[in-house]
Structure 1
């Protein structure tokens, strides 16, 4: 055995280990260098890459620049201008702070830095290889900094071996660039790859304008602005209408105090805000900015600073959830919505009384998605064998009509936001907002399942089952939260026979069935006695409705028991679905008008509880083009 087995690593080896933590791939280096530019006060940042970032990464900015001494010192490990003491870690106000990025990148590349302060006559150029400074000289350049990183990981072949294809690495760089650009709309950004321009983003006047620059006008036209400010936490940004959804969660962007993060609390809050609005397995688009006191969030929990820890995660979740959920509750107000959004890294200081919240206006428009039919398969139970009249009336009894809504001119077929004037469109011809259905002309019913309405913009088709299901679901949920689903007694008790193999599980879920509005009692080992059914449906079809609900339980009582509020919402979906009018049911004109009026008084009316669209629209121009007019 050797006498000494513990030793100090050479500086170069330690730097390469640190580089492995901070610089996972070329995209990590790009992110760190851009964040340094932003911390230096840059108003314009350009990025150039070759070979997926392995051959070259060049980041230039017009920031504050450095002196010769600072430029040399910045390449040493733990060198930083952003913190002075351990106490500074409790309230970090810059994107970078760890003092590892430049040194780590330099240790695994050939690095050349050119930098100049505006007050200096000349700039300074520093060249380093594998972390060792090889040369320093003066240079002529504009104020700012340019850093070139060549042959990244040239001296760490193991890391180089695990890089993906050039296209994949370039895509990761573009995604990191995209996130930073979205969070800093007042900064101009440019990204070129192998001589081809990927992004060329001038300074934007609003978050929505930057969103449109980065992700295109179509999705931008379908975003709703939200803003909820509570003591210590503010959540603001953009959220897609409920008729837009995506196969993955890659369209969700989350930022805390201007820093792009991947946080489970924030993602879960956004996803749950869309619960019952988009199909299961689909994901929304959202751009979320959370601003809070710096001392209430720990950003020093990951070497790449992509994760955070909240002092009160529950409060943050609550604010984000309600900010988006409340905005989605009524998507008719989307013609002109203004809110105050500041996405800078220091925006959290706006929560302090002494800070001026200088923010830009953010104007959004929302629309009905042209491809909203993508989620229709999520609720196949809505279709049934055609039945001209069905077994029971709709039982839609409208409340007193909202007279104010009907005092507006009939030409205003769409409900506009009373706070705004004309809409500022995300495109030249923005899609129409969600309409006030009851104010549109009823053309009739198609295929005994779809209600046809005429609008100023074209033809609207409403799925009667999806519409009635949403109305019923919201009524049931409101009753449940107000103390319990109301029950209407049967004229005479009705026995309901159970499958003997499943009877014990059903008997074990009697309390849940009663909570859903069914007044039931055991009546022998394989029979229930039904004495009342949910009042919203009436007692006529109560036995069939109860049977359908039992069939929806699954293989055991876990289909009903456990899961808290989320489980009850799933049961409410089933109850609303089984109790709603089906496709194949011919409706009288009075029933159609009653359904439309109820729908207009319902929150989240654009989608059924399973996420399927309530309506689709065929634009007038689309129809006329089909006839070549």
Structure 2
């Protein structure tokens, strides 16, 4: 086939596809332009899920009348002059592609500094004087009308609207000093006050109940909000990361946040967080992709460590496990939730469902009252009735003990009356060989008894002898499939799970008291190592309300 140069209109449409993928990406570019112009107030209107109209009105610096047409030409920008400028980018936009890309795939009209222009398929079709107004008004109509293939691949109206709202919410959270008002089909969907208060912005975006459960995060080049461990979601969508006020996607930094909650959240549950990192422009590369969602750090490990230290300091300085509303229900945090108060007589089940574990030691010494269903301990404290999951509580106590033994390299063991032979899979055999010191520190005494068999002569003192064989097998299986950095914690968690008392185990009063005492003394005692809660507090005021004893 003969090689030919593409017509400019076709080339522009192809290039636009990298920048403007959907209505939400068009909206993102318009918001970033407005913020770069120093706007203190943004009015955003969407119709037809962004296909029909996206309008952004700002009160920023505006575009000089004589530069208005130039602003819509590809690679025309006021933010970069030389290669050296790419090493010190502080603005959200800098590529000079956004407006040109929008003009290539939509009907665009821009009014600024007493001038108005309209573009179709990248060409100026109208240019005239206009009434001078502060800032800029930019309207994008009939998005992708001249690229039907792209139009066909858009999602449903609900999906595209959700994506648009998420963009507005992200910038509303990252720029609390800017007043945002977002409307869809003439109805207000989001409004912030623009007073510079991050918590107030979070209340407008996430709801007041959620905002009340967010902890301030402050660290070296780190600021933001992160949720108490009792506030969580079923997906990672509620984590907003930004670098120099630019929203980014980073699996590594997302993992850094999640790792701070290990042992405090159940598997498959994730925190809500708005976290901004300030990094010298020379220490990162934002020119990775036209959409500017990815960045590269010169030293990602340093950033990773700073982020984790800041989050852990916030979590350690809080008292996150007192009674609260039931905030961990499923659903996205990035919608303003409706908060409903419970009826006065919703039943004791609703009282239990809305209660959360108490803070370690916050309710005072626990006085055991008994055991129910051979599964839960009932205790009284200064603040109310405390229900304790006996397996989860014992699991936490043993996990802390085993972890300390692994770190110290020594632990107590008990000799088995009759040594047991344990057949192992190849991966388990390798794990037993690689982690001999850990096994000994936990209290296991093993002897080779064949190519894939060991003889178990002693087990940890805390592990019931009848479960020693099972506990060893599961421990080796866990070690065989653990990443090096998680192996220590996983080993302690596995052994704790198989050594702890179980549902159905009857505990004598002295055992109940000892378990409660050990739980009160344990660090991070609110959850088991897998993130399940160990206790539930029904405070006296809640019980009085339920039984109408409000006098």
Contact 2:378 2:388 in 1 (8 A): yes
- Please report how far the alpha carbon of residue 285 of structure 1 lies from its aligned counterpart in structure 2 after TM superposition: 1.6
Distance 1:224 1:596 in 2: 29
The equivalent residue for 2:401 is 475
Counterpart among 494, 512, 520 of residue 574 in structure 1:
494
Contact 1:368 1:433 in 2 (8 A): no
* CA spacing shift, 1:97–1:443, aligned 2, 3 Å: same
Contact 1:113 1:126 in 2 (8 A): yes
The equivalent residue for 2:352 is none
SS in 1 for 2:161: helix
The equivalent residue for 2:345 is none
* CA spacing shift, 1:285–1:55, aligned 2, 3 Å: same
TM-score under structure 2 normalisation? 0.86
The equivalent residue for 1:439 is 364
1:459 aligns with 2:379: no
Contact 1:493 1:529 in 2 (8 A): no
Distance 1:126 1:547 in 2: 78
Q: What does residue range 318-329 of structure 1 map to in structure 2 within 5 Å?
A: 318-329=305-316
- Please report how far the alpha carbon of residue 520 of structure 1 lies from its aligned counterpart in structure 2 after TM superposition: 1.8
The equivalent residue for 2:538 is 618
Contact 2:216 2:224 in 1 (8 A): yes
The equivalent residue for 2:326 is 370
1:89 aligns with 2:86: yes
* CA spacing shift, 1:327–1:529, aligned 2, 3 Å: farther
The equivalent residue for 1:105 is 102
* CA spacing shift, 1:196–1:457, aligned 2, 3 Å: farther
SS in 1 for 2:236: coil
- Please report how far the alpha carbon of residue 48 of structure 1 lies from its aligned counterpart in structure 2 after TM superposition: 0.2
Gaps of 5+ in 2: 331-354
* CA spacing shift, 1:614–1:225, aligned 2, 3 Å: farther
Per-residue CA distance 1:193-218 (angstroms, 9 max, x = gap): 11111101111442222112101122
The equivalent residue for 1:279 is 266
Contact 1:239 1:324 in 2 (8 A): yes
1:227 aligns with 2:200: no
- Please report how far the alpha carbon of residue 291 of structure 1 lies from its aligned counterpart in structure 2 after TM superposition: 1.2
SS in 1 for 2:45: strand
- Please report how far the alpha carbon of residue 480 of structure 1 lies from its aligned counterpart in structure 2 after TM superposition: 2.1
Counterpart among 117, 122, 134 of residue 143 in structure 1:
134
- Please report how far the alpha carbon of residue 546 of structure 1 lies from its aligned counterpart in structure 2 after TM superposition: 2.6
1:515 aligns with 2:447: no
1:79 aligns with 2:4: no
Gaps of 5+ in 1: 117-122, 335-364, 375-429
Counterpart among 367, 375, 381 of residue 449 in structure 1:
375
Matched residue count: 521
Distance 1:620 1:186 in 2: 41
Contact 1:370 1:617 in 2 (8 A): no
The equivalent residue for 1:548 is 470
TM-score under structure 1 normalisation? 0.76
* CA spacing shift, 1:619–1:71, aligned 2, 3 Å: farther
SS in 2 for 1:451: strand
Structure with the higher fraction of residues in helix conformation: 2
The equivalent residue for 1:404 is none
- Please report how far the alpha carbon of residue 624 of structure 1 lies from its aligned counterpart in structure 2 after TM superposition: 3.5
Q: What does residue range 181-580 of structure 1 map to in structure 2 within 5 Å?
A: 181-229=172-220, 234-329=221-316, 331-332=318-319, 370=326, 434-436=359-361, 439-442=364-367, 444-447=369-372, 448-454=374-380, 458-482=384-408, 484=409, 486-490=410-414, 494-499=418-423, 502=424, 507-511=429-433, 512=435, 514-516=437-439, 517-522=442-447, 524-525=449-450, 528-534=454-460, 537=462, 541=463, 543-552=465-474, 560=480, 563-580=483-500
Distance 2:382 2:197 in 1: 30
Per-residue CA distance 1:485-532 (angstroms, 9 max, x = gap): x23254677411325xx3776554434365132342326448755454
* CA spacing shift, 1:129–1:622, aligned 2, 3 Å: same
* CA spacing shift, 1:604–1:239, aligned 2, 3 Å: farther
* CA spacing shift, 1:479–1:492, aligned 2, 3 Å: closer
Per-residue CA distance 1:3-38 (angstroms, 9 max, x = gap): xx243x333222212211100011111000001010
Distance 2:178 2:260 in 1: 31
Distance 1:265 1:508 in 2: 29
Return 576-585 or 30-39, whichever deviates more.
576-585
Per-residue CA distance 1:412-462 (angstroms, 9 max, x = gap): xxxxxxxxxxxxxxxxxx989724157145251341433334456643322
The equivalent residue for 2:337 is none
* CA spacing shift, 1:621–1:369, aligned 2, 3 Å: same
